[in-house]
């Protein structure tokens, strides 16, 4: 078993657990910083470990396949060695980026043909190729290749799309069982034996079905019957209102096995994540904390602040009283000055702070779930966070 549940909460579905991967154990609930090009934007692997306390990061299959490409990744010994990040990595399937970045998409039973956003050249991404790329990258957790319907979406489109995703899920699983060990760099030769856990590459399913409860149920059941190491809820955070996002979770979770991790893709704000944890979600990823950092926004327990604000001109306090000790010395006044001067250090400090805030929130959630005080913690946090 790669997933162990440790404690759960009386009045909510929140639970803590440990997910075991080839590159180490991950406590859940957990947030995964996004390392689009192999590393989290503006940050170094050492900072992710020492300041952020990241336990797993996400790599983007679409981006890494286009650049540097599989030849480089393969010759450099996989994504872990290439990026010098030796802790767990989850890779997405590339499907979401094909949908959001690529042009001239043509979806067929075989896969998706598209013109990539870098040089416009045509590429065909199939379930098998997505799995092969992820195996070559050597991620600890690979995601199945799905079609992500837009929001809003007609029920007929969503149903057809779901059918395709379920058929692709089977093809992904088949390829993975047959071929992963021949491509995953740390499963080849002696490397695997050296890793503490001896864990194979894991593969997660993705529940689709847009806003339709019966389709979410159908999707979850079809994936579970194929059998995956964990289950993501996809097709959320694509522009829908927050209540639809929560409904998508509510519509999927009851049909997922309790003994496998559940992953809400592309989420979210701190309150949204706490709401999802209360509904039994174990894993999150989102570009938001680093993307908004690059626009000058910092998370605090009293809600987000914009560092450009004139109110901080003479503010000698750190970004937040709870920020990491190594960031305490930087005043809001200094970070504001750096940001207004377009100095990269400001983007680094804001990114570090925001990810530290997110990972600290996960650690707090785990502690409160274990102590049986999660519901109170969640309510207090959200009340203070949303007061202003």
**Whose Cβ is closer to its own copies: residue 35's or residue 234's?**
35
Rounded to a whole number, what is the largest CA-CA distance in the chain? Answer: 62
Strand, coil or helix: what is 196?
Answer: coil
CB contact at 8 A, 63 and 73: no
Binding residues for substrate: 92-96, 146, 208, 235
Cα 223 from Cα 218, distance rounded (Å)? 9
Comparison of 344 and 371: residue with beta carbon closer to its own copies: 344
The answer to the question of residue 117 lying near its own copies (CB under 8 A) is no
The angle, 0 to 180 degrees and rounded to 10, between the axes of the packed helices 213-226 and 155-183 is 20
Give me the residue label for tokens 């990040």: 85
The β-bridge relationship of strands 103-107 and 112-115 is antiparallel
Instruction: Tell me if 347 contacts its own copies by CB under 8 A.
Output: yes
Query: SS3 of 12, please?
Result: coil
Would you say 79 and 139 are in contact if contact means Cβ atoms under 8 Å apart? yes
- The stretch near its own copies (CB under 8 A) out of 72-80, 95-103, 130-138, 237-245 is 72-80
Site string for its own copies, 25-54 (x = CB under 8 A): ------------xxx-xxxx-x--------
CB of 35 to its own copies, least distance (A): 10
- Residue 82 or 175: the one with the smaller Cβ distance to its own copies is 82
Nearer to its own copies, 18 or 44 (CB): 44
Q: Which of 120, 344, 376, 380 binds its own copies (CB under 8 A)?
A: 344
Look at residues 342, 349, 238 and name the one whose alpha carbon lies nearest to residue 297. Answer: 349
User: In this chain, which of 277, 338, 350, 365 binds its own copies, going by CB under 8 A?
Assistant: 338
Rounded to an integer, what is the distance from CA 24 to the centroid of its chain?
Answer: 17
The H or E element containing residue 262 is strand 262-264
Q: Label residues 76-108 b or e (16+ Cβ within 10 Å = b).
A: eebbbebbebebbbbbbbbbbbbbeebeeeeee
- Taking residues 80 to 109 in sequence order and writing x for each that binds its own copies by CB under 8 A, - otherwise, the string is --xxx-------------------------
**Which residue in the set 304, 306, 334, 373 belongs to the binding site for its own copies (CB under 8 A)?**
334
Q: Which two tokens stand for residue 329?
A: 């010395």
Q: Interface with its own copies includes 68 (CB under 8 A)?
A: yes
Q: Which is nearer to its own copies, 248 or 352 (CB)?
A: 352
Enumerate residues 209-228 that contact its own copies by CB under 8 A.
none
Q: Would you say 338 and 307 are in contact if contact means Cβ atoms under 8 Å apart?
A: no
SS3 268: coil
Q: Assess 345 for contact with its own copies (CB under 8 A).
A: yes
Catalytic site residues? 92, 285
- Binds its own copies (CB under 8 A): choice among 343, 372, 376, 384: 343
329 near its own copies, rule: CB under 8 A: yes
Q: How far is the CB of 318 from its own copies (least distance, A)?
A: 11
Find the binder of its own copies among 105, 167, 317, 340 (CB under 8 A): 340
Peptide bond connecting 152 to the previous residue in cis, omega within 30 degrees of 0: yes
Question: Contact region for its own copies (CB under 8 A) — 161-169, 225-233, 253-261, 322-330?
Answer: 322-330
Residue 186 to residue 326: CA distance in whole angstroms: 34
* Binds its own copies (CB under 8 A): choice among 1, 10, 239, 341: 341
Q: How far is CA 14 from the centre of its chain?
A: 18
Binding stretches for its own copies (CB under 8 A): 37-39, 41-44, 46, 63, 67-68, 71-72, 75-76, 82-84, 313-314, 316, 326, 329-331, 333-334, 336-338, 340-341, 343-345, 347-349
């Amino acid at each position: 078993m790669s997933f162990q549940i440790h404690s759960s909460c009386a009045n909510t579905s929140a639970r803590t657990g440990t997910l075991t991967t080839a590159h180490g154990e991950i406590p859940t609930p957990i947030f995964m910083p996004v390392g689009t090009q192999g590393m989290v934007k503006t940050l170094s692997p050492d900072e992710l470990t020492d300041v952020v306390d990241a336990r797993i990061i996400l790599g983007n299959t679409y981006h890494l396949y286009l650049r540097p490409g599989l030849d480089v990744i393969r010759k450099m010994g996989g994504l872990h060695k290439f990026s010098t990040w030796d802790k767990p990595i989850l890779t997405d399937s590339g499907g979401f980026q094909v949908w959001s970045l690529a042009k001239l998409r043509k979806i067929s039973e075989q896969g998706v043909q598209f013109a990539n956003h870098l040089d416009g050249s045509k590429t065909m991404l199939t379930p098998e190729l997505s799995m092969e790329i992820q195996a070559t990258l050597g991620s600890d957790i690979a995601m199945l290749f799905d079609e992500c319907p837009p929001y809003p979406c007609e029920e007929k489109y969503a149903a057809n799309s779901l059918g395709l995703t379920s058929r692709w899920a089977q093809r992904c699983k088949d390829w993975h069982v047959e071929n992963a060990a021949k491509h995953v760099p740390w499963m080849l030769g002696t490397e695997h034996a050296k890793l503490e856990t001896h864990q194979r590459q894991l593969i997660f399913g993705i529940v689709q079905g847009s806003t339709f409860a019966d389709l979410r149920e159908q999707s979850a059941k079809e994936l579970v019957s194929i059998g995956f190491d964990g289950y993501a809820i996809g097709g959320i955070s694509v522009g829908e209102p927050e209540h639809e996002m929560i409904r998508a979770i509510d519509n999927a979770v009851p049909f997922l096995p309790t003994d496998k991790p559940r992953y809400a893709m592309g989420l979210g704000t701190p309150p949204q994540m706490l709401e999802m944890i209360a509904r039994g979600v174990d894993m999150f990823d989102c570009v938001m904390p680093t993307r908004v950092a690059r626009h000058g926004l910092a998370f605090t327990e009293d809600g987000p602040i914009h560092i450009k604000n004139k109110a901080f001109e003479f503010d000698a306090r750190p970004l937040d009283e709870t920020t990491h000790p190594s960031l305490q010395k930087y005043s809001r006044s200094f970070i504001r000055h750096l940001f207004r001067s377009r100095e990269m250090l400001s983007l680094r400090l804001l990114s570090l702070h925001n990810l530290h805030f997110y990972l600290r929130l996960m650690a707090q959630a785990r502690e409160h779930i274990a102590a049986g005080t999660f519901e109170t913690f969640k309510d207090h946090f959200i009340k203070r966070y949303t007061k202003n």
